[in-house]
């Protein structure tokens, strides 16, 4: 009997174990200490403007920057605590993750790569939703972190901490105490780093300004200090490879490359690498190992330096053949020996399958397309929070096959006949097919913009369907005729009524249940307090004009009178229309009346 993929992997892994999975830890303090940091703070550290280059100024992908030890020493040389301190780490690899709530998966991926994190808190707003989510993430991973109390320059009259006027210092103390209370409510002890006497019990807080650079030297020094004093074992170099693909890019002169974080181990030019691909595992040979200059972000175009070998931890760009369909967000492996290839290929295939299978899809829903696995997960996070069903997902450009999958929704549920494409190109033939079939393709490189366009479209669809089913949907109502307000007995019938239950609106057909469901007509208009209104509710006295619907015209006083109760005539079709397009227009009591009328009319 054929072995399953999992069994094959176990067998291959067992065969490889003596060579591949032996981990030797050296007592070397290496560069592997990448904190999670905001782009603006990181821009100040490296004196760049990466965030302005991001789509809409919002971090959309994970990036990385290597900060050498010399730069840290230079920036922190004025600090009294740094004088005489022995800097043992070669530098810091800083991972920059998106801050938007929808990108929690990318922050999670970033935090899993890092040894120590910087949690940025706005002193003007305190703990915000994404801050709270990051705290829980760090707690789950038991990851040490430092708090950057950012935007202190916004305080009125701010100069520098030791040169403040009394009212500015008072403002700082007030806001800092508010933030401290917020952390205490989350069972976290925090203290300003220069006052902290117990760093094992209290989280260090560094006041900073990404705008002026205030506190950035303090922040850099504290990262190094804590890394060397408390995380020596964690940042020790290991030969076992830990490498994650961040992004797939085409670079002029190098072809398709992958940006990756080399968290541990080493990689050489000429190594055989295995990565997960859209059409199966990709096995290729490293042609070039490119690195940006120190203090430069991996995402930004740079004059790259070529290396024969790179040791962790570094952000690297790998140039090799056949990387066009590599999937970002998954591990990259190096096959040191030919017999490792079958296991590594099976592992790469299983990683992608497990990730995509974990994304829940349904028969009726939108098609989602994204550039990377992280972007796909971010988009799914938003769609799930909005209870938007997804029928299919994919990574990479939008092709005709994706449009075909979306076209299936034209029969199942037309409002979902669309593709949400995040940060991916759209094939010209695919766009032409979508236009012909009536499939909407919403494309954006900022998740906020995609969200806005989707919301606008869904609102348009909602209003169009409400207008289409306006007279199909019948709101439930029960009316009592007021005998002292009979204005016209026939064609049209104009009478005053009291709304006993439900909602009354134009177009509502009325019947009398007590006279074998005698049809009276349809409400043509209604008035309340001598003014025409669209709706009337329980407890109101209104005047209604009833137009006949059949050949036989009903007459008040002959066919019915004030002792007869009027109710709206509902059907299975009208109930479905109310559920699908007017659910929020009816309150809980209105739906209870709908259930009563459903039993009255014996509707299944």
Residues labelled as active-site residues:
100
The span from the CA of 363 to the CA of 27, in Å, is 54
Report CA-CA distances (Å) from 563 to 172, 477, 497.
74, 17, 12
Please name which of 577, 502, 579, 488 lies closest in space to residue 535, comparing C-alpha atoms: 502
Q: Per the structure block, which two tokens stand in for 146?
A: 């430092």
The span from the CA of 462 to the CA of 79, in Å, is 60
Query: Which residues, other chains included, contact 537 with Cβ-Cβ below 8 Å and sequence gap of 6+?
Result: 499, 503, 504
Helix 69-76, helix 216-230: angle, nearest 10: 120
Classify 289 in phi/psi space as left (phi over 0), alpha (psi -120 to 50) or beta.
beta
Query: Which residues, other chains included, contact 62 with Cβ-Cβ below 8 Å and sequence gap of 6+?
Result: 95, 96, 97, 98, 106, 109, 110, 246, 247, 261, 374
Start-to-end CA span in the chain (Å): 51
The span from the CA of 309 to the CA of 305, in Å, is 12
Please name which of 595, 598, 593, 601 lies closest in space to residue 504, comparing C-alpha atoms: 593
How many Å separate Cα 563 from the centre of its chain? 59
Please name which of 44, 474, 367 lies closest in space to residue 220, comparing C-alpha atoms: 44
Q: Are 104 and 112 in contact (CB under 8 A)?
A: no
């Amino acid at each position: 009997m054929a072995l399953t993929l999992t069994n094959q992997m176990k067998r291959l892994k067992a065969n490889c174990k003596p060579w591949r999975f032996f981990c030797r830890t050296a007592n070397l303090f290496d560069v592997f200490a990448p904190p999670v940091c905001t782009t603006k703070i990181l821009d100040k550290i490296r004196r760049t403007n990466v965030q302005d280059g991001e789509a809409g100024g919002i971090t959309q992908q994970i990036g990385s920057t290597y900060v050498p030890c010399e730069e840290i020493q230079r920036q922190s040389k004025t600090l009294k605590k740094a004088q005489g301190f022995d800097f043992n780490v070669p530098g810091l690899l800083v991972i920059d993750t998106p801050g938007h709530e929808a990108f929690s998966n990318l922050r999670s991926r970033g935090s899993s790569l890092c040894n120590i994190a910087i949690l940025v808190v706005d002193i003007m707003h305190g703990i915000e939703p994404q801050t709270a989510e990051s705290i829980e993430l760090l707690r789950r991973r038991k990851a040490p972190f430092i708090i950057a109390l950012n935007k202190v320059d916004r305080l009125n009259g701010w100069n520098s901490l030791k040169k403040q006027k009394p009212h500015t210092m008072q403002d700082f103390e007030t806001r800092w105490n508010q933030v401290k209370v917020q952390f205490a409510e989350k069972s976290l002890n925090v203290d300003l780093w220069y006052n902290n006497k117990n760093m094992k019990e209290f989280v260090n807080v560094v006041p900073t300004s990404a705008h002026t650079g205030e506190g950035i030297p303090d922040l850099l020094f504290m990262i190094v200090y804590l890394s060397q004093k408390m995380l020596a074992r964690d940042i020790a170099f290991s030969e076992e490879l830990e490498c994650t693909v961040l992004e797939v890019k085409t670079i002029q002169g190098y072809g398709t490359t992958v940006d990756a974080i080399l968290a541990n181990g080493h990689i050489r030019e000429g190594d055989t690498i295995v990565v997960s691909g859209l059409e199966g595992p990709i096995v290729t040979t490293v042609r070039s190992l490119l690195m940006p200059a120190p203090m430069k972000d991996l995402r930004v175009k740079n004059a790259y330096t070529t290396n024969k070998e790179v040791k962790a931890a570094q952000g690297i760009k790998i140039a090799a053949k056949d990387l066009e369909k590599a999937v970002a967000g998954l591990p990259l492996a190096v096959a040191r020996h030919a017999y490792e290839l079958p296991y590594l290929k099976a592992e790469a295939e299983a990683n992608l399958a497990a990730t995509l299978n974990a994304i829940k899809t349904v028969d009726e829903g939108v098609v989602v397309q994204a550039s990377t696995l992280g972007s796909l997960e971010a988009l799914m996070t938003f769609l799930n929070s909005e209870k938007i069903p997804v029928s299919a997902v994919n990574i990479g450009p939008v092709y005709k096959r994706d449009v075909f999958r979306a076209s299936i929704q034209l029969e199942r549920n037309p409002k979902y006949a669309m593709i949400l494409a995040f940060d991916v190109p759209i094939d010209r033939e695919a766009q032409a097919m979508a236009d012909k079939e009536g499939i909407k393709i919403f494309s954006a490189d900022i998740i906020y913009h995609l969200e806005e366009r989707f919301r606008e479209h869904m609102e348009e669809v909602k209003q169009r369907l409400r207008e289409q089913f306006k007279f199909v949907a019948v709101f439930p109502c029960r009316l009592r005729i007021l005998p002292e307000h009979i204005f016209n007995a026939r064609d049209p019938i104009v009478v005053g009524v009291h709304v006993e239950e439900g909602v009354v609106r134009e177009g509502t057909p009325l019947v009398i249940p007590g006279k074998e469901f005698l049809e009276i007509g349809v409400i043509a208009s209604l008035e309340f307090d001598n003014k025409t209104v669209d709706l009337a509710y329980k407890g109101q006295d209104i005047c209604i004009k009833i137009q006949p619907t059949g050949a036989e015209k009903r007459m008040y006083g002959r066919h019915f009178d004030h002792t007869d109760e009027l109710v709206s005539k509902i059907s299975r079709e009208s109930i479905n229309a109310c559920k699908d397009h007017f659910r929020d227009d009816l309150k809980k009591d209105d739906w209870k009346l709908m259930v009563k009328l459903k039993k009255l009319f014996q509707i299944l």
